[in-house]
Structure 1
Amino acid sequence: MTAGNKNKTSGQPDLLTTRRSALKIMGSLIGLVKPLLHIMLLAILLGTVGYLCAIFLTILAGQTLLKGTSFNFSSGIGGSVLSGLTAENIFILMAVLAVCRGVLHYAEQYCNHFIAFKLLAIIRHKVFAALRKLCPAKLEGRDKGNLISIITTDIELLEVFYAHTISPIAIAVLTSLTMVIFMGSYQWKTGIFAFCAYVIVGAVIPLWNGRRGSSSGMEFRSKFGELNSFVLDSLRGLDETIQYGQGEKREKQMEEKSLELAEMQKKLSRMEGGQRSVTNLTILLASFGMLFFTLYLYGKQEIGFDGVILCTIAMMGSFGPVVALSSLSNNLNQTLASGERVLSLLEEVPLVQEISEEEGDFQTSDRENALAAAGRNDFSGAEASHVSFSYEDESILNDYSIKIMPGKIVGIHGVSGSGKSTLLKLLMRFWDVDSGKILVNGKDVRNIPTSRLRDTESYVTQETHLFHDSIAENIAVAKQGASREEIMEAAKKASVHDFIMSLPNGYDTEVGELGDTLSGGEKQRIGIARAFLHDAPFILMDEPTSNLDSLNEGIILKSLKEEADQKTVVLVSHRKSTMNVADVVYKMENGRVS
């Protein structure tokens, strides 16, 4: 691996471990709800009232049966309220509650899912913004499959949290408190008993299950990301796999990873089954416990017979909210693991902080204003002054200095790994130097607004990435709103116009994913066309002709020579033939220049 492809630092978050507690993860995720808080509060209100409608349906049924008995109804809230109602009125009230339950449940679910999908869009926007800031220093060499997993499945899993976690927690608390008050109105001891039952089912059991499964949930999400990476890698290397007969080996590896993931899924499913069994047993014990407890209180004449029946019915019928809360822990481990991975990415600090126009130490001269108005950029030279730089512990540049004069083609020649590519990336400020300075137009790049630096420089990398789009659109990424004439002119300078016109759809030809339908040389020439279209005064080229034959190399170098009176070009190559076009050639070896 050459120096130019290594990571500057290993300070990336460990995707296999949880760095914070479940409560902190939930708190951070809930913090994102602030813009939609009013809808969340409405969902909680609708859900609470809806559950109470369902619970009091059964309680009203019990009240109706008791109404025909000789027992009075003065021992609790329900008895006092219903003592003056006829059976017909109670039936009407039950029908109203049944309809309200359905309407309120639908409205609550609608609000929750609206919040969830709105927030997922917001989170995706934040993630892409974070990736843009982290790029390229912290993303170069990063596991792309895991990143894809975070952007897709991990964010999708957060839908469970926003649609089925935040509101259910609040609804369970409010509904349970209401029922504690209702049952406590018959006898305060029944209220305490109900409170303890709700806490065990809705808090103790989920926390126990979450604690024993948190590491498994994080491990499952990370292994899922690793499988994504392996599949993506296998698809990209399909030609090599077939050519060298590695199909069975790759298939076996994929099967092993899939089986490992399946075993982890089984483990999580067993935890889920165990939790569900414990929850159901606790509900059963609490329901019969309320019955026996109220009978005991009835025997001591501390509660009426209506209190025995209604408190028992209320206890049996009111576990819905806390059961929903308890069931969350089954999937919550994976959801929180996904939340941790997303939050870790959002909180990751870029190695290179972008500089805004307001932050930059950049005063525009009258000449620069005039050039900008004419659609041109000024360039007065670049310099690396006593620069030292290393990738982790590996020193690449050591007290390195070079001056690049304007209007010249500067060649930098050297073997792979000598630091040539690293120098270009420092000029682009993809990384910051460890010591020394990189100057462009006499200003330290660390003080130049990032947008201005990008306008001043064009960068042609060793490997040209093509998007799954037309050739015209792939070239046009270098200049927003570029006309077809501008695109064609850039392609002509890059000696790729004739090839494009020979294609069935010309510039509208789709290049396929990763540009697989084009050869390495054709992709490289499209990359060079982008640089010409960008029309920056300072062009950095990293092995721009490595995939070209001598004829096309000569044509492109001739175009560079013709542009040199208006542009400054830094040409990095290990080919001596490429250096023939340079006005001055520096030889680079072990981070030193000669």
Structure 2
Amino acid sequence: MHKENNIKLMWKMSKLVRPLAGYMVLAVILGVVGYLCAIYIPYFAALLITHIAIQAPDFPIHVFFILLLVFALMRGILHYGEQACNHYIAFRLLALLRDKVFKALRKLAPAKLDRHDSGDLIYLITGDIEALEVFYAHTISPILIALVTSIILLFQFYRMHILFFLIALAGYAFCALFIPFIIMKQGKKDGETSKAIFGEMSSYTLENLRNMQDILQYQIADERKLGMLKRSVEVNKAQEKLKRHEGKNASLQTMAVMSFSLLMLGVATTLYMQGEVSITSLIMTTVLMLSSFGPVLALSSLSNHLLLTMASARRVLALLEEAPQVEDINGKEDAVFDTIKVENISFAYDKERILDKVSHTFEKGKITGILGKSGSGKSTLLKLLMRFYEAQDGAIQVGERALDSINTNDLRDMQSYVTQDTIMFHDTIFNNVHIANLEASVSDVERACKKANIHDFIMSLPKEYETSVAELGSSLSAGERQRIALARAFLHQAPCILLDEPTSSLDVLNEAMILKSLKEQKDTTILLVTHRQATLRIADEILHIENGRVS
């Protein structure tokens, strides 16, 4: 989690606005002119009343009424234009941020992404990024608008009297700088805590939804309900703390406006009694002071919202700036698939050693069975060959090329990877298979499905290949999902297929049909991981792994 102060954080976020600088300038201009219209409505109204009271000669009353009407109309139009510009900027930037986040997730996967909680990630992608709308639509331009408007008003106060200028300067600084600084300093930790609790709540909710069958089966609904209630109470407590900061902010604002306005009235009255200013200046200065706090109060009111916004920004930037464990390789010479050589590789998750000095040569065009008990390191070996992870020691080569000298895209083209836990997209069966080769024809997809012994099942469905798959493939059995994963591998037509327990959920007949299809994949290098000896009857050689070592 980033520990940068809010100023540095806001500066980082503001730099993203550069491509939309023109819209930001327009929003600031519209906002400044709009606030000036709002401020000068009571100003000119007071001036009108004052001149009528003193019976000023040749005073054009109708002109003042026209000005007030124009200011009122323009205020609404300009405010609408300012908000339209700000929200256009915000929504464009939120789309840009989501794109950056998904690119970051792509780089982090799978080595770093495995350590992130999925529910928390979902909340970051949705809730945290959405919270940044407050910053882009309601923070950047209000800061600039408040600054420009205050400079214009301070200049007018200065022309009236230097003391008026100093009082106004102190009032604006107190509202725009001191109050937000105090509120954000006091509430920074509460904002970050609130975001963390919301992320945990999202994760817990997702966990309950995904495991609803087990909750019902083992009758633990009451326990899970208590867990949900506990987290709801924590969320409420966090929100209460933020609301207290919001109330403190509103109280300080009201006190500041009244105090500085009364101070302006007192000083103006004293100067009037000393003959330094006129009665008109006394009244106009006080009215102008009362009506001019709008821009700085709008800025001050953001402080409580910014507690959550800055917490969200820290979470988003932490993800965007997190270094991937495995960097993609680009710009190297094209590679051609050949024999895979593994020499003395070792690998550990944190401090848990999984593989220890493993060496083997996987001959091109041969089927190698990798046999071992659960947890022996079989699946980890395949992930290292895919370069999802990198070995801490040793080397892996494809032909004469080191694995980390091959372009990542080339490596993906060389390999098809099938795991026992197949994740399906919420899409049609056809599209779920077709992702393996977007240039494949309908007949190519059907041919791959026949090899995976899933075609007949698909054709028995009401919509055949256009049948929609439920979220995460829950409408299909584990065996059906595995066969679709195998169809993807066949459609990909890679020269190397890595299979991690590909038939663990299949019956004997389906397994036999699929093993037959694998055997018919001529000139294809196949690595078949399993813990069942019977599955390896098609293997040309068998590699035994026990406790992270080749035995």
TM-score (norm 1): 0.91
Cα distance per residue 1:189-244 (max 9 Å; x no partner) = 11110110111111101110111111111111111011110110100000001000
Task: Quote the residue 1:380 is aligned against.
Answer: 338
Task: Quote the residue 1:474 is aligned against.
Answer: 432
Q: Is the 8 A contact 1:127 1:345 kept in 2?
A: yes
Matches within 5 A, 1:224-263: 224-263=198-237
Q: What is the CA distance between 1:71 and its match in structure 2?
A: 9.5
Task: Quote the residue 2:244 is aligned against.
Answer: 270
Matched, 1:425 2:361: no
Task: Quote the residue 1:396 is aligned against.
Answer: 354
Q: What is the CA distance between 1:461 and its match in structure 2?
A: 1.2
Q: What is the CA distance between 1:471 and its match in structure 2?
A: 1.0
Matches within 5 A, 1:118-137: 118-137=92-111
Task: Quote the residue 2:260 is aligned against.
Answer: 286
Task: Quote the residue 1:26 is aligned against.
Answer: 10
Q: Is the 8 A contact 2:370 2:530 kept in 1?
A: yes
Q: What is the CA distance between 1:66 and its match in structure 2?
A: 2.4
Query: Of 287, 295, 306, which aligns to 2:280?
Result: 306
Matched residue type, 2:51 = K
Matched, 1:528 2:486: yes
Task: Quote the residue 1:582 is aligned against.
Answer: 539
**Number of residue pairs aligned between Structure 1 and Structure 2:** 551
Unmatched tracts of structure 1, length 5 or more: 1-13, 73-82, 365-377
Q: Secondary structure at the match of 1:439?
A: strand
Task: Quote the residue 1:89 is aligned against.
Answer: 63
Matched residue type, 2:356 = N
Matched, 1:486 2:444: yes
Task: Quote the residue 1:544 is aligned against.
Answer: 502
Matches within 5 A, 1:450-461: 450-461=408-419
Matched, 1:569 2:526: yes
Q: Residues of 2 paired with 1:281 and 1:441: CA distance?
A: 76
Task: Quote the residue 1:59 is aligned against.
Answer: 43
Q: Secondary structure at the match of 1:545?
A: coil
Query: Of 163, 174, 186, which aligns to 2:137?
Result: 163
Unmatched tracts of structure 2, length 5 or more: none
Q: Residues of 2 paired with 1:506 and 1:85: CA distance?
A: 85
Structure 1 residues 584 and 519, CA gap change in structure 2 (3 angstroms) = same
Equivalent pairs: percent with the same residue? 46
Q: What is the CA distance between 1:85 and its match in structure 2?
A: 6.5
Q: Is the 8 A contact 2:208 2:224 kept in 1?
A: yes
Q: Is the 8 A contact 1:223 1:261 kept in 2?
A: yes
Q: What is the CA distance between 1:90 and its match in structure 2?
A: 2.2
Q: What is the CA distance between 1:153 and its match in structure 2?
A: 0.9
Matched residue type, 1:476 = H
Q: Secondary structure at the match of 1:33?
A: helix
Matches within 5 A, 1:501-512: 501-512=459-470
Q: Is the 8 A contact 1:459 1:539 kept in 2?
A: yes
Q: Residues of 2 paired with 1:323 and 1:226: CA distance?
A: 34
Q: Is the 8 A contact 1:194 1:315 kept in 2?
A: yes
Q: Is the 8 A contact 2:334 2:410 kept in 1?
A: no
Structure 1 residues 523 and 413, CA gap change in structure 2 (3 angstroms) = same
Q: Residues of 2 paired with 1:494 and 1:567: CA distance?
A: 16
Task: Quote the residue 2:473 is aligned against.
Answer: 515
Cα distance per residue 1:435-479 (max 9 Å; x no partner) = 221112321111111111000000001210001111111111111
Q: Residues of 2 paired with 1:567 and 1:337: CA distance?
A: 51
Query: Of 35, 38, 54, which aligns to 2:19?
Result: 35
Q: Secondary structure at the match of 1:302?
A: coil
Q: Is the 8 A contact 1:71 1:306 kept in 2?
A: no
Which moved further from structure 2: 83-92 or 43-52?
A: 83-92
Q: What is the CA distance between 1:302 and its match in structure 2?
A: 2.5
Q: Residues of 2 paired with 1:442 and 1:470: CA distance?
A: 41
CA RMSD of aligned residues (A): 1.5
Q: Secondary structure at the match of 2:280?
A: helix
Q: Is the 8 A contact 1:354 1:449 kept in 2?
A: yes
